[in-house]
Homo-oligomer: A and B are copies of this chain.
Amino acid sequence: MVILQQDFVFLACPMQSTPSYYPKQISFPTNTNIYNKNFFKPNSKAEAKLIDAKKHSESEKRRRMRINSQYTTLRDILPNLIKVNQNGDKASLLAEAVRRDECVLPGGVDKLSIEQCEGEKEGLVKATCSCEDRPGLKSEMTRAPSCVKGRVVRAEMVTVGGRSKNAVWLQRLGGGNEGVVALKRALKMVADRPVLPRNVSKKLPFPR
């Protein structure tokens, strides 16, 4: 992607220069070398200890900066809501990031959940599923409920970094708890289907 034009329209919050994140791989500009004992011989054991302490505290300071620059970024990208509520402290910031992530994005472990949507006259049920992404996953997810009663009225998919979160809404899912169990089984089969590497024969040469 080549960014052609980018516009930032700041509403409530003032313009802030976001400190960029310094990855561990890129060394920070430090004066650590002058403390190197091979380069600068200390006069005594006490002096050596002091130098070590200084090195240590400076490296810890850099670590804190790395972490805090992430908090600053988080403060910038999270919606204003959290700021006006004075919930800008670290724990609340993290909690909000977790809440947003959990709500929409696929998790790292395979999950399957079925929920009853309240306030719906015709009994709307939402089935959510996180798993590895693969071609055709969404249509398989949408077709899976064909083994139970009910009609798919909506389907959503969000894929990030090879992991996929699928949601399917079903109207008039019949059969009570048995219907729920059957739906769950059908979706689980789709989610559990192994992702075969491309250009590899489906007949595996060894047992799984």
5 more contacts with CB within 8 A, not counting A4-B116, A8-B111, are: A2-B115, A9-B109, A71-B94, A74-B97, A101-B101
Q: Is B100's CB under 8 angstroms from A105's CB?
A: yes
CB <8 Å contact, B161 and A81: yes
Please give, as numbers and ranges, the residues of chain B lying within 8 Å of A189 by CB-CB distance.
none
Inside 8 A of A110's CB, which chain B residues have their CB? 9-11
Chain B residues in 8 Å Cβ range of A101: 74, 77-78, 97, 100-101
Whether A113 lies near B7 (C-beta < 8 A) is yes
Q: Does the CB pair B78–A113 fall under 8 Å?
A: no
B residues in contact with A77, CB < 8 Å: 98, 101-102, 107-108
Judge whether A200 is part of the interface by a CB distance below 8 angstroms: no
Contacting pair A158 B104 (CB below 8 A): yes
**Cβ-based interface call for A1 (8 A):** yes
Tell me which residues across on chain B come within 8 A of A1, comparing CB atoms. Answer: 115-118, 126
Interface stretch among A36-44, A53-61, A62-70? A62-70
26 contacts between A and B (CB under 8 A): A1-B118, A1-B126, A3-B114, A5-B113, A5-B180, A5-B181, A5-B184, A6-B111, A8-B109, A13-B108, A13-B109, A21-B95, A66-B91, A67-B94, A70-B94, A71-B94, A74-B98, A74-B101, A77-B102, A79-B161, A79-B163, A80-B109, A81-B162, A83-B108, A100-B161, A104-B104
Q: Smallest CB–CB gap between A157 and chain B, Å?
A: 10
- B105 to A104, Cβ gap below 8 A? yes
Question: Do A79 and B100 touch (CB < 8 A)?
Answer: no
The answer to whether B6 touches A116 (Cβ under 8 A) is no
Task: Tell me whether A6 and B97 are in contact (CB under 8 A).
Answer: no
Contact A160 B106 (CB under 8 A): no
